[in-house]
Amino acid sequence: MELKDIQAVKQRFGIIGLSPALNRAIDTAVQVANTDLSVLIQGESGVGKENFPQIIHQYSSRKHNKYIAVNCGAIPEGTIDSELFGHEKGAFTSATSDRKGYFEEADGGTIFLDEVGELPLSTQVRLLRVLEAGEFMRVGSSKVQKTNVRVVAATNVDMLRAIADGRFREDLYYRLNAVPIHIPPLRERKEDIPLLFRRFASDFADKYKMPEVKLTPEAQNTLVNYYWRGNIRQLKNVTEQISVIEQDREISNSTLLNYLPQQEKSNLPTLFGQQQHQEERSFTNEREILYQVLFDMKKDMADMKKVIAELMANRHTDPTTQPIHTEPAIYTTPLHQTPEEVNIVHAPTHQPRIVDVNTTIEDTEEYIEESLSLTDAERDMIIRALEKYNGNRRRAAEELNISQRTLYRRIKEYGLE
């Protein structure tokens, strides 16, 4: 589409903005409108996803038929099947008569399923059948009915994560996502923020019969660089509050900051480094605790080596514990004796343990110290903790007084997976 055509769509549906990403989303919606492909609109809460199903419907051949918008997250799980597909009389306690569902009412038109990621798994199965075969059954009925409905869905849920967590069917996701449209968050449309503020300020000035509020350059700079977790909806609410409450119609930066929630400011880039520093400091503390445990173990080993050395020293000085020292036995074989006779004559009935005085006794302390390293000790501690709790990593981490994340990292480093 040409830029002038996109601008005409914006004026028709009240969309404000010059962002290239926004223009691309509008262009995709218009181009796909004349097909029957399902469309999945994804974006954060408050970005204006509800405008795009209407664009698709109005630019399609279904525009003269019904358009029904359904908020899937607002319907209780126990009644959503009845709302979408209808029910037969007597299907449940309050079903006093037959009722058509939205898919039956919207036959030939378009149905917009907002917050589709909140659908129960049982309802997802029914919806998949509608998308694949155009068929459904009312609750409490065994009669299959046909419907010709264009489905446009929207969600602010991370669908791939929902699939991985088992909360959303993968086959349904790909059916809905035949044509994906992504609506950018407001922080990625900074050039549109002043335009939106002026539009909202003008609308509220007309609504409340008062002069329009304006921002100082510093306040406008703060407005543009704010995170806006609630996106357009949050910006509109802030503008309305300022328009109603403030007497001075020129809004300074200090005044504006009073309306920006402190909680949101934690997401500003200027504070990201502080969060990262705190996290790194937490990891450092955990590592220091672990090393302290290892050092304590090494000290205990040193004490034990000292005791062993004292015991061995006492053994050398105590006559009752002295080993028997004898000259090495020399056996000669006379020429007139056979080897068998030699064995008979010289084989002792009891061979005492012979220790050569010149034999070097290995230093126990040195041997233990060489074999003990911080890495081996740490690995051994982790293995013992995991064995103690039968592989339960959470309890093993508590036993070691470290976080689970640090324990997972150590397990991977030492090949204990």
Q: What is the pLDDT of residue 359?
A: 44
Could you confirm whether domain 189-265 is CATH 1.10.8.60? yes
Q: What is the pLDDT of residue 403?
A: 83
pLDDT value of residue 407: 83
Query: What is residue 349's predicted lDDT score, i.e. its pLDDT?
Result: 44
Domain boundaries, the chain: 3-184, 189-265, 271-413
Please name the fold of domain 3-184.
Rossmann fold (3.40.50)
Question: CA 72 → CA 47, 69, 114, 130, 179, distances in Å?
Answer: 18, 9, 6, 16, 20
Tokens matching residue 206: 């007309």
pLDDT at 209: 94
Instruction: Yes or no: say if 208 and 244 are a contact pair by the CB < 8 Å rule.
Output: yes
Residue 60, pLDDT score = 96
Encoding tokens for residue 282? 């937490």
pLDDT of residue 195: 96
Q: Which residues of the chain have pLDDT under 70?
A: 263-296, 298-299, 315-374
Residue type, 30: V
pLDDT at 412: 81
Dihedral of alpha carbons 244, 247, 248, 254, sign = negative
Distance CA 164, CA 167 (A): 8
Helix ranges, 153-192 (H): 159-164, 170-176
From 60, 70, 181, 79, select the one nearest 120 (Cα to Cα): 79
Secondary structure string (H, E, C) spanning 77-146: CCCHHHHHHCECCCCCCCCCCCECCHHHHCCCCEEEEECHHHCCHHHHHHHHHHHHHCEEECECCCCEEE
